[in-house]
């Protein structure tokens, strides 16, 4: 019945514009036309079929209606003078599921940006009130759990992971010795590890630091990459004219002016790289 009245009203408006030349030259953007466009958009989005609804709000029509019912009965969401509940919820879901911008919703729903923003905040406040219903409460897992996935987490609850142990500073010196030994054996060449080198590093680290628990991947692999990056940066800085090297403290020696100039050059190179 609503669409019949809208269609009749729109037909009358078109006839008036045809009979009045001055009205015909004006853009046809009245409240009636905007309401008709808005209802047509919502009809295609959430009322036509489950496929359309899931594609636009990640819910089928039944779930969408149930969600609206929860927001009304439990969340206390109420329609306003101009915006219905389904339009509010649709605006909210489009924003969080598709990251749709306010300006896009303005074009699709023929609303002002303030109206859309207020609708999203009303639904958000109602969703927060549904926290006890929507958020699943954590249940403690017993030690004798038969779930096959629990064995990967029970040793790590409340502390650092044993599989991915945190690197300690006391591991640096033994790790450096292991790298030198593998370089002499030929398993590390030109900063590249050959097949089996990471596993060999893991075995050597366990022998030098019993109980360290560091693994080849990702702990040793990430540490090797980090040291490699620092090494290349240090070599590049040592080649700068006028800079020296302190072999005792292993520091770069540079005066303030040359160091500031070097930083400016690096920042400029990074800026050009980001642009081009």
User: What is the structure's pLDDT at 29?
Assistant: 59
Which of 127-141 are b and which e, b meaning 16 or more Cβ less than 10 Å from the residue's Cβ?
beebeeeeeeeeeee
Note the pLDDT of residue 17.
Answer: 55
Which carries the bigger pLDDT value, residue 268 or residue 104?
104
Residue 118: per-residue pLDDT: 92
What's the confidence (pLDDT) of residue 115? 92
Beta strand pairing call for 192-193 and 251-253? unpaired
Q: Which residues contact 255 (CB under 8 A, 6 or more apart)?
A: 242
Residue 132 tokens read as: 């006890």
pLDDT for res 7: 57
Mean pLDDT of the chain: 78
Q: pLDDT > 90: what percent of the chain?
A: 11
pLDDT digits (tens, 9 = 90+) for 145-198: 777 666 666 555 544 444 445 566 777 888 888 888 888 888 887 777 778 888
Q: For the chain, how are helix, strand and coil distributed in percent, rounded to 5?
A: 65, 5, 30
**pLDDT digit string, tens, across residues 186-231:** 888 777 777 888 888 888 888 888 877 777 777 788 888 888 888 8
């Amino acid at each position: 019945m609503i669409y019949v009245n809208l269609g009749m009203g729109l037909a009358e408006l078109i006839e008036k514009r045809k009979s009045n030349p001055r009205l015909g030259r004006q853009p046809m953007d009245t409240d009636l036309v905007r309401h008709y466009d808005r209802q047509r958009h919502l009809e295609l989005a959430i009322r036509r079929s489950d496929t359309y609804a899931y594609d636009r709000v990640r819910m089928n029509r039944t779930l969408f209606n149930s969600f609206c019912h929860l927001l009304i009965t439990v969340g206390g969401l109420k329609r306003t003078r101009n915006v219905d509940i389904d339009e509010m919820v649709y605006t909210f879901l489009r924003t969080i599921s598709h990251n749709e911008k306010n300006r896009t919703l303005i074009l699709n729903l023929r609303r002002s940006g303030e109206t859309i923003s207020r609708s999203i905040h009303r639904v958000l406040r109602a969703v927060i009130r549904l926290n006890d219903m929507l958020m699943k409460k954590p249940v403690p897992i017993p030690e004798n759990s038969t779930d096959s996935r629990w064995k990967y987490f029970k040793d790590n609850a409340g502390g650092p992971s044993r599989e991915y142990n945190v690197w300690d500073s006391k591991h640096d010196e033994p790790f450096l010795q292991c790298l030198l030994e593998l370089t002499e054996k030929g398993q590390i060449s030109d900063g590249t590890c050959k097949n089996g080198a990471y596993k060999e590093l893991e075995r050597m680290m366990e022998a030098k630091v019993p109980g360290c628990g560091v693994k080849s991947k990702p702990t040793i692999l990430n540490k090797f990459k980090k040291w490699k990056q620092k090494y290349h940066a240090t070599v590049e800085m040592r080649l700068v004219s006028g800079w020296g090297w302190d072999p005792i403290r292993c520091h770069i020696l540079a005066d303030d002016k040359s160091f500031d100039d070097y930083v400016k050059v690096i920042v400029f190179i990074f800026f050009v790289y980001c642009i081009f």
